[in-house]
Amino acid sequence: MRRLYTCVLTFAATLSAQTDINKDLPGWLKFDAEFRTRFEGYSGGGFKPNTTDAYLLTRLRLGMTIAPTSWLKFHLEGMDARAIEKNPALPPYQNTWDIRQAYVQLGDNESGMFGLRAGRQAIDFGDQRLVGEALWNNTSRTFDAIRGTFRMDGYRVDAFASSVVNQVDGTWDHHQQGNNLHGLYGGIEKLIPNATIEPYLFWRLQPSVRNEEGVIANVNEKVPGFRWAGKLPYAIDYAIEMDREFGSLGADKIRAWAGHWVAGKTVKSVWATPRLYAEFNHASGDANSKDGIRGTFDQLYPTNHDKYGLADQVGWRNISDVRAGIETKPRKNVGVNVEFNDWYLASRFDALYNVAGVPVFRSPNGAAGTHVGEELDFIATWAILKPLQAGAGFGHIFPGQFLKNVTPGNAYNFPYVMFAYKF
């Protein structure tokens, strides 16, 4: 084992030295690249017997940044994402040779007092439970957007207008006209010691959605909320995020809410420095599909991977999720985590939604019960060197009463092995 570890480190160091091309370039020009490959699969798809799949995902990104002055930057990034032995091979698994990012930036959106970025770009806010680029997905997500950032003395505000990019393999990606997400996202770092409060307001406009009467109409939805995360004495950490949704879909009224609460404790005096945590996640469901009130929470454009289970079979809609786990660091560059989720439908008359927010199973009369099931996950990560990362994981879902009633009720397994190289 020691010999294998030494060989891997030697290979990574050699590869890093060979690809550090930026040190020989002028300061106004910089290249970046990422190659990631992940072998994954599942058994028990749809919680049915004899339903399996296994495939290899590859993702190559090549980027170039031109910064002629300290206040002006141009960034272009191309991406080629492929799914080998996956049928059909479509987004979010495959999107061959497309433009992922292409923007111009005035100032500094990342750390400066002011920045203005316009063009195709990734957008991440907070814990990315509502807006994020979903990096786990082989194709991930970007927006055609304009975003302004202002920060001063521990305060920050982002204002943006955007439209999500629709990914289509084999042709140039584009956003859908009229499908927009706008918003304000703030940050307050000095109001409470060792904590940050992030108030926000999102405004979603979406055309051609069917309401409860079956009429095609437009969504006009507002999402006010906040995230509060911080640390307490005795190595205790916590986070809270809560959201309301209101607005309309034609004649329907939108009335929904969601919340996330987590607390953790790091035991620094114990080997592997374990962090134990417990959390509760809730997103409202629709109790009556004919009353003209849409009660199902809209998760917008999140980064949902491993927030409600490693296997990504459950999203933040019509769900109550009790979650606990332990995170350890056996070595400085090695992490080993164990996680457990227990899910219940928020409304037995609404559907179970997957990680993409799509309804997958429903009991129309609500007789199937509310207990969806449990998931037990094991995750390992290894930062071999700064540019080279490795990881592996396994998730197992134990179907509960609801899944046993609306599906054959077979267990679901999700294993993966992943490597990533980035400079």
- Residue 241: which of 194, 199, 181, 180 has the closest Cα? 199
Q: According to the model, what pLDDT value does residue 3 have?
A: 52
pLDDT in the model for residue 423: 84
Taken in order of first residue, the domains within the chain and their CATH numbers are 2-422 (2.40.160.100)
* Cα–Cα distance, 39 to 422 (Å, whole number): 18
Instruction: Give the percent of the chain with pLDDT over 90.
Output: 90
> What pLDDT, in 10s, does the model give residues 180-210?
999 999 999 989 999 999 999 999 999 999 9
Tokens standing for 139? 């194709």
Distance of CA 259 to the CA centre of its chain: 16
- Give the residue among 196, 230, 203 at the shortest CA–CA distance from 218: 203
In this structure, how many other beta carbons lie within 10 angstroms of the beta carbon of residue 345?
25
385 pLDDT tier (thresholds 50, 70, 90): confident
At 196, list the tokens: 């940050």
Q: Would you state the structure tokens that stand for residue 314, as one six-digit string?
A: 């459950």
Q: Lowest mean pLDDT: which of 276-285, 381-390, 398-407? A: 381-390
Q: 3-state class of 292 per DSSP?
A: coil
Which residue, among 359, 378, 420, 382, has the nearest Cα to 135 in the 3D structure? 420
CA distance 326 to 336: 9
pLDDT over 80 (residue 20): no
Model confidence over 108-162: pLDDT tens digits? 998 899 999 999 999 999 999 999 999 999 999 999 999 999 999 999 999 999 9
Rounded CA separation 177/72 (Å): 29
Residue 19: per-residue pLDDT: 53
What is the distance between the terminal CA atoms of the chain, rounded to a whole angstrom? Answer: 27
* Amino acid code (one letter) for 215: V
Q: What is the DSSP letter of 131?
A: B
Instruction: Summarize pLDDT for 289-304 with one digit per residue, the tens.
Output: 999 999 999 999 999 9
pLDDT at position 386, please? 80
Output the CA–CA distances (angstroms, integers) from residue 115 to 32, 47, 121, 173, 190, in the order listed: 21, 48, 14, 26, 22
